[in-house]
Amino acid sequence: MELFDQWGLTLVIFLPILGGLLLAAIPRSQEETIKRLGLLVTAGTFLLSLGLLVGFDFGSASEFQYEVNAPWITAINANYHVGIDGISLPLLILSTFITLLCVVYSWNHWEEPRNPKSFLILMLILETGMNGTFAALDLVLFFIFFEIVLLPMYFMIGIWGDKTVRKIPGFARETETRLYAAIKFFLFTLFGSAFMLLGFLALYFRSGVSQARTFDIPELIGIASNTPELFAGQFGWLVFGAMFLGFAVKVPMWPLHTWLPDAHTAAPTVGSVLLAAIMLKLGSYGFIRIALPVLPEAARDWAPAIAILAVIGIIYGSLACLAQTDMKRLIAFSSVGHMGFVMLGIASLTDIGINAAIIGMVAHGLITGLLFFLAGSMSHRYHTREMGRLGGNMKLMPILGGILAFTAFASLGLPGLAGFWGEFMSLLGAYNPASGLSLTVFRTAMVLGAIGTVLTAGYMLWMLQKVNLGEPKAEWNDHHFNDVDRFELAAWVPIIILIVIVGLYPRIVFGASTDAVIELVGNAFGSSPTAALGGG
């Protein structure tokens, strides 16, 4: 057990990439072996992460557990410091869970040019990057994991992506969708990361004023609470701004979001799923893990701006959805809105708001992940994503259509399913944000966010009407459609069950996150902002 305490987390992070190395040694022609090994590795990683869950001490969820802190690059005092608390645990498990299901789904869904070996290797590298980001407690380590995910995703989009050639506004020549999307995704994220790194370095150097320079996140948080003036003022404001650029691109927040619809639309199904379900969360997680606790004062300065951008994202994303004709692009834009709720929760700087963000991230990961699976399977069968050509799907494929309807309702935040809590709680958080924040801004944001839920219902039901209902178009008359196959079911049913469980018993997330969040907010922003109100 002690061995697991020490090595369990490291194994969860690095087992995938080790598996990837192993895969690289197997000849490409042995597809079955490759697939089995890929499944074995991701399943093993998932089981190990469940082991972490079982051994997790929920009584002290606000402390880092399975912590390892070993010297790494001593010259700059960067350490291999990893650990998980109640905030990272749900996300880490989400990551291992979704990756496993992606492998299951991939079993008989390979997009051209196939090559399962390369695809699985990329997926495994991606998993290491994602798991590592959720566990890293050192800024250098965090940065490396945060950036590792870029390359596999870049290749997934660029190689397995949408090959349609189209005219990109502002570009002279016509371009393959996948190339444009992959490059845009890469450069956009890199642009943000550069600033983020700058911010990290600034913190590193500044921390050296009172002690040895450090990249260590808990240490930096300690400095922030012991000598708040060190990270305050203009310095803090600028550093927060730099981190904001890095994280906000990833989330993505309006107006830094435009890489997302392109990347999602172009990416292969599994790429879209991983992108939506987990990679977007790296940004919002960064805010919670690093930006808020290390720079609380700057966070207060930035919070209203974040709230405003979040709400613009909610409204704008929903409206943009209503203008889409491509089903996958519509789902992609819906992420802008949903992540807007996550960011509104974070911007409130309250325990409830940040808790909203965490359960919102988990829910969005499950629901939008599933939506992208479904969109992928639909376009796999219809060979088109144009909603104008679809319709009557309920008639052609009732099970697929039924699951799509269920997921659409989950996505519009139906109470009783996972998506509701995040939206509702971010409104709770925004009603009474941390002390010192403008009530006018946040309550306006709350009202607009609530109106956004109507728009969300608007485009989701509209999509269902277009795709699922009505009579099938004449062009499909002679087609034979296979309803969901067993690999699809094996990948989707666990998600469906979890959506219901989180919806009816959200404690499955709050049990880990609540104490950690209360502690985080208490340290960074003082006691609960609503304490003054007393109770009934």
Applying the rule CB under 8 A, the residues between 387 and 416 that interact with other proteins are: 392, 394-395, 409, 414-416
By CB under 8 A, is residue 213 in contact with other proteins?
Answer: no
Distance CA 257, CA 183 (A): 14
Judge residue 7's burial from the number of C-beta atoms within 10 Å of its C-beta, 0-12 exposed, 13-18 middle, 19 or more buried.
Answer: middle
Q: In 47-112, where do the E strands start and end?
A: 65-73, 78-84
Taking CB under 8 A as the binding criterion, the range among 18-26, 77-85, 177-185, 285-293 that sits at the site for other proteins is 177-185
- Which of 205, 386, 439, 485 binds other proteins (CB under 8 A)? It is 205
Q: Which is nearer to other proteins, 173 or 480 (CB)?
A: 173
Q: Which is nearer to other proteins, 392 or 494 (CB)?
A: 392
By CB under 8 A, is residue 534 in contact with other proteins?
Answer: yes
- Which of 27, 54, 169, 229 binds other proteins (CB under 8 A)? It is 169
Q: Cβ of 304: how many Cβ atoms within 10 Å? A: 17
CB of 288 to other proteins, least distance (A): 14
- Which of 22, 39, 144, 179 binds other proteins (CB under 8 A)? It is 179
By CB under 8 A, is residue 248 in contact with other proteins?
Answer: no
Applying the rule CB under 8 A, the residues between 432 and 491 that interact with other proteins are: 432, 446-447, 450-451, 453-455, 457-458, 461-462, 465, 468-471
By CB under 8 A, is residue 220 in contact with other proteins?
Answer: no
By CB under 8 A, is residue 165 in contact with other proteins?
Answer: yes
CB of 10 to other proteins, least distance (A): 26
Contact (Cβ atoms closer than 8 angstroms) between residue 207 and residue 220: yes
CB of 236 to other proteins, least distance (A): 15
Applying the rule CB under 8 A, the residues between 303 and 342 that interact with other proteins are: 316, 319-324
- Number of alpha carbons in the 13 Å side-chain half-sphere of residue 347: 32
CB of 7 to other proteins, least distance (A): 31
CB of 403 to other proteins, least distance (A): 12
CB of 317 to other proteins, least distance (A): 9
Distance CA 133, CA 423 (A): 25
Q: Is 82 helix (H, G, I), strand (E, B) or coil?
A: strand
CB of 4 to other proteins, least distance (A): 28
**Residue position matching structure tokens 């001593």:** 74
User: Phi and psi of 387, rounded to 5°?
Assistant: -65, -25
Q: Which is nearer to other proteins, 117 or 300 (CB)?
A: 117
- Which of 24, 71, 174, 482 binds other proteins (CB under 8 A)? It is 174
**Three-state secondary structure along 152-220?**
HHHHHHHHHCCCCEEECCCCCCEEEHHHHHHHHHHHHHHHHHHHHHHHHHHHHHHHCCCCCCCCEHHHH
Q: Which is nearer to other proteins, 1 or 25 (CB)?
A: 25
Residue 126 in tokens: 């991606």
CB of 54 to other proteins, least distance (A): 18
Distance CA 207, CA 108 (A): 52
By CB under 8 A, is residue 214 in contact with other proteins?
Answer: no
- Please work out the total of residues on this chain that contact other proteins, with binding judged by CB under 8 A: 98
Within the chain, what is the greatest distance between any pair of CA atoms? 75
Judge residue 59's burial from the number of C-beta atoms within 10 Å of its C-beta, 0-12 exposed, 13-18 middle, 19 or more buried.
Answer: exposed
By CB under 8 A, is residue 158 in contact with other proteins?
Answer: yes
- Number of alpha carbons in the 13 Å side-chain half-sphere of residue 175: 18
By CB under 8 A, is residue 510 in contact with other proteins?
Answer: yes
- Which of 12, 124, 135, 197 binds other proteins (CB under 8 A)? It is 197
Contact (Cβ atoms closer than 8 angstroms) between residue 207 and residue 214: yes
CB of 446 to other proteins, least distance (A): 7
By CB under 8 A, is residue 255 in contact with other proteins?
Answer: yes
Q: Which is nearer to other proteins, 16 or 161 (CB)?
A: 161
Judge residue 63's burial from the number of C-beta atoms within 10 Å of its C-beta, 0-12 exposed, 13-18 middle, 19 or more buried.
Answer: middle
Distance CA 70, CA 219 (A): 15
- Which of 6, 33, 40, 113 binds other proteins (CB under 8 A)? It is 113
- Which of 21, 171, 475, 526 binds other proteins (CB under 8 A)? It is 171
Taking CB under 8 A as the binding criterion, the range among 49-57, 84-92, 482-490, 499-507 that sits at the site for other proteins is 499-507
Q: Is 536 helix (H, G, I), strand (E, B) or coil?
A: coil
Q: Is 81 helix (H, G, I), strand (E, B) or coil?
A: strand
CB of 474 to other proteins, least distance (A): 14
Considering only CA atoms, which of 219, 284, 225, 269 is closest in space to residue 79? 219
Considering only CA atoms, which of 353, 355, 351 is closest in space to residue 521? 351
By CB under 8 A, is residue 494 in contact with other proteins?
Answer: no
Applying the rule CB under 8 A, the residues between 29 and 58 that interact with other proteins are: none
- Which of 85, 138, 216, 351 binds other proteins (CB under 8 A)? It is 351
By CB under 8 A, is residue 60 in contact with other proteins?
Answer: no
Distance CA 100, CA 104 (A): 6
CB of 510 to other proteins, least distance (A): 4
Contact (Cβ atoms closer than 8 angstroms) between residue 237 and residue 225: no
